Structure 1
Amino acid sequence: IAKGRGGDHAELGAVDARQFANAHGLPSAEAERMAWLVENHLLMSFTAQRRDIEDPTVVEEFARIVGSSARLDDLYLLTVADICATNLNLWNSWRDALLKRLHQLTENWFNQGEQSAREIVDATRAAALREGVAANIPAEDLAGWFESLPDDYFLRTDIAPVLQHARLALGEDRLPVLWISNTPDQDAIQILVLTENSHGQFARIVTELDRSGLNVQSANMTVITPTAAHLEKRALFEFFILDQHNGARLDHWSLDMLRTRLRFRLQSTDAARTRIHRRSPPQLASIDVATQIQFLSDHRRGRTEIQIITKDRPGLLADITTAFADLDISLNHARVSTLGERVEDAFYVVERQGHAVDSPKRCAEIEAALRAAIHSRS
């Protein structure tokens, strides 16, 4: 609605929707409902695909805009219909899971009301400890593992994955520890890696996944604080991936091969510089997408969000993460969204010393390096 007329088509479309409803004698409440949905028809898609929806502040911000469970249901249905009607090839199991997850988190916020970060952390830790002990994980081991994790981890992680990560960490001492499996509930491939927190590990993992023809949809990194039981610096990585055809199932042989290749890559001292030999699909050759890079401050969590919009190609994410490593930038979280020939990625980063990117000069340096990496294979 209202595209091609200049201006914001969502705002112009809301005016059209209200006029249409009034002209057809709909009640004023229904007219406002239609206008609100048209004006905000991109809100849920944008939030689910480009924001960190496991961050309670993101969910709260989204919930306050939506306002009610009824509007949430309306917006969810409209978002699914809009994506499928725009291009059915854009709809996949991962987007389905993301939208359902945002719907669930927002519904929970409506039901539970506002909670402080401290309340969420304490409640998650207590519930995970209780369920872990009930599942025969020693309480002392579990409590020690929890002490090594930052509060931010418990803010953004549900109880089930908290226990899954704990079993991985407590089950084996020798690094790296890898767990790879198809996940039927999200219809994606989940990869967990507990490894030494050395510089460039994120880029090494992403490069190997790219070489294997796998597309990262979401990635998280948690830095583990050294303890008396584990003095070495460790990091926990979690990836959700699809194959290059947007499928999400690997057979046992493929899973074993991927596990072997990742282990070899992580134990290698080589930099993450491997040429990706997959060719771009022919339909992308004649399409141009202007590269846009934007820096946003996340003061509450002491990090910087870098949003990148550009043309998709094989090896793109590997090149971007390698550029971050070369810049001494550490990745905390990444949200990757591919919309046909266009990628809209969000990276949550800190300097190697642990603080946000906070100077215009540094931002300019990072942007120049990212643009060079993005267009290095054009």
Structure 2
Amino acid sequence: QVMVFAADQEDLFVRLTGFFGRMGFSILDAKVHTTRHGYALDSFMLQDTSNSARYRDIVALIEHELGALLLNPGEPQRPSSGRISRQVKHFPVTPQVSLRADEAGRHYILSLPAADRPGLLFDVAEVLAKYGISVQAAKIATLGERVEDTFLLTGGGLSQDAQVLRVERELVDRLQV
């Protein structure tokens, strides 16, 4: 499990998901929060897909590389695409995207059940960043070969129906296996 507490930065969620993907980790579970004082408090449950390094080596590597990423933010870097599991290829899950306003109308809730694959969370985060949408909170759940992700969002012109449709359409396109 990796906990990130840092001043919130533009595209932080995209950069974190890209970082973990490039390091060979699959994000099994994540909880993302932005405090009222402008700090990101993010928790990631990771699985080492390569199983190549010892635990202490992995911890030291993450601490060093992730610290450097947070101190020197740059453009988000796409993780390698990896391999799609045989089960997903033969029993695909049709992605569903639901983006709606919450009861108070101040935030928007994005729900994404879809087939899991390497780089999926990065693709979602990249689309949101493209439209200037901020992730205020997120619950990421990987259930075998399926993900059920929920995001609390602000910004990006989501009060306009046409913008909501554009975002939903692009997410569906990016989530196709």
Give TM-score, length-normalised by structure 1.
0.42
CA deviation digits over 1:200-241, x for unaligned, max 9? 01110121122221314122222453xxxxxxxx42222131
Q: How do residues 337-356 of structure 1 correspond to structure 2 at under 5 angstroms?
A: 337-351=141-155
Give, in whole Å, the separation in 2 of the partners of 1:218 and 1:327: 22
8 Å contact from structure 2 (residues 96, 172) kept in 1: no
1:218 is matched with 30
Structure 2 counterpart of 1:210, one-letter code: G
Structure 2 counterpart of 1:202, one-letter code: F
1:198 is matched with 9
Shift, 1:281, TM fit: 2.4
2:82 is matched with 278
- CA separation of 1:208/1:199 partners in 2, compared to 1, >3 Å: closer, same or farther? same
8 Å contact from structure 2 (residues 99, 168) kept in 1: no
Shift, 1:294, TM fit: 0.9
Structure 2 counterpart of 1:331, one-letter code: V
CA deviation digits over 1:322-368, x for unaligned, max 9? 1111110000111112222221111110015xxx8322111101112
Q: How do residues 179-328 of structure 1 correspond to structure 2 at under 5 angstroms?
A: 189-195=1-7, 197-212=8-23, 213-225=25-37, 234-244=38-48, 251-300=55-104, 302-328=106-132
2:158 is matched with 357
SS in 2 for 1:350: strand
- CA separation of 1:271/1:369 partners in 2, compared to 1, >3 Å: closer, same or farther? farther
> What are the ranges of 5 or more consecutive residues in structure 1 without an aligned counterpart?
1-188, 226-233
CA deviation digits over 1:299-320, x for unaligned, max 9? 3372111111111101100111
Structure 2 counterpart of 1:259, one-letter code: E
Q: Which is higher, the Rg of structure 1 or of structure 2?
A: 1
8 Å contact from structure 2 (residues 97, 113) kept in 1: yes
SS in 2 for 1:347: strand
Give, in whole Å, the separation in 1 of the partners of 2:44 and 2:106: 25
Give, in whole Å, the separation in 1 of the partners of 2:67 and 2:136: 21
Give, in whole Å, the separation in 1 of the partners of 2:76 and 2:173: 17
Identity %: 20
Instruction: Pick which of 318-327 and 337-346 moved more.
Output: 337-346
1:374 is matched with 175
Structure 2 counterpart of 1:211, one-letter code: R
8 Å contact from structure 1 (residues 215, 244) kept in 2: no
> What are the ranges of 5 or more consecutive residues in structure 2 without an aligned counterpart?
none
Give, in whole Å, the separation in 2 of the partners of 1:337 and 1:236: 19
Does 1 or 2 have the higher relative contact order (CA < 8 Å, sep 6+)? 2
Structure number with higher strand proportion: 2
**Counterpart selection for 1:333 from 117, 137, 144:** 137
Give, in whole Å, the separation in 1 of the partners of 2:125 and 2:70: 15
Aligned Cα RMSD in Å?
2.4
CA deviation digits over 1:101-122, x for unaligned, max 9? xxxxxxxxxxxxxxxxxxxxxx
- CA separation of 1:277/1:293 partners in 2, compared to 1, >3 Å: closer, same or farther? closer
Instruction: Pick which of 289-298 and 266-275 moved more.
Output: 266-275
Shift, 1:277, TM fit: 4.0
What is the count of residue pairs matched by the alignment?
A: 173
Give, in whole Å, the separation in 1 of the partners of 2:79 and 2:48: 17
Give TM-score, length-normalised by structure 2.
0.84
8 Å contact from structure 1 (residues 194, 235) kept in 2: yes
